[in-house]
Structure 1
Amino acid sequence: MDELFASIASNVGIDPELAQKAVGMILGFLQKEGPAEQIAQMMAAMPDAQALIDGAPEAGGGLLGGGVMGLGSALMGMGLGMGEISGVAKETVAFARAQAGEEAVDQVIAAIPGLGQFV
């Protein structure tokens, strides 16, 4: 996963530690909202994913609601702008596809309302 954080830091322009927290939040959101079978396949292909999720701030809920908008709000609360959130999301999804395969990751994205427009 370190190569993912380095890629995000380089391509998105944020600190690797912030990238790590953001990736953990995104993966936690996918784990919570996505179809169990495909999530299990994705997590098995990314062995450090669960530790990232466990160490990340909780995303979603609150006054702005859950779902994709709640995740976006939580990421903005960490100081990320919309462009940075988009960059982190795209890098994370590309990494997940490379690790777990396009089919499983695409099924996860398709199953979560509104997510496809951000990744």
Structure 2
Amino acid sequence: MEKLTSSVVAETKLDPTVAKAALGLVLGFLRDKDTTGNMQVMIAKMPRAQEAIDTAQYTGDGGVTQVIEGMTSFIGHGRADLNILAGQLEKLGISEAQTDALVRQVVNRAENIIGAEGAEKIKGILPALRQRTDLPTDLRHSA
């Protein structure tokens, strides 16, 4: 988790505490949306990742997320879940460009931990995030 946090901080210029909170939100979102188990494997292989997810979920937003989640349970999640995540990241002061960089770093780290095939499956979760934040089709960091 520290390596991922460091790479996010280097690319986004976010404060390390904010970067870790944002990563906790994004990793938790991806874990909850992943039906393959790849994110759970990735999280298990990153020391302190589960702690970051737990902390991000615990800090919450005064119950607003739970109310929205309750309302969306009638119509399905998907886009509403994504809007909740985007709102949480925005509340942390993270711009769309920083979100783009953060997600790119998560995908890069996924490739290192669970391999290219596993990372591709994780990227399959991201089309809706791409639409919400105008992320490029190729989320890999170009060197």
- TM-score with structure 1 setting the length: 0.81
**In the alignment, what sits opposite 2:128?**
114
Aligned-CA RMSD value: 2.6
Distance 1:80 1:116, change over 3 A: closer
TM-superposed CA distance for 1:56, in Å, is: 0.9
Over the matched positions of the two proteins, sequence identity in percent amounts to 26
**In the alignment, what sits opposite 2:56?**
56
1:78-119 Cα offsets, whole Å, 9 max, x none, are 111111111111112211221221212221331455135634
Contact 2:107–2:123 (CA under 8 A) maintained in structure 1: no
- CA–CA distance in structure 2, aligned partners of residues 85 and 39 of structure 1: 19
1:35-61 Cα offsets, whole Å, 9 max, x none, are 142233222332322111111145966
Unaligned runs of 5+ residues in structure 1 are: none
**In the alignment, what sits opposite 2:28?**
28
- TM-score with structure 2 setting the length: 0.69
Amino acid at match of 2:110: A
Alignment of 1:7-46 (within 5 A): 7-46=7-46
- CA–CA distance in structure 2, aligned partners of residues 115 and 102 of structure 1: 20
Amino acid at match of 2:42: M
Unaligned runs of 5+ residues in structure 2 are: 73-78
1:15-35 Cα offsets, whole Å, 9 max, x none, are 111100000000000111111
Structure index of larger Rg:
2
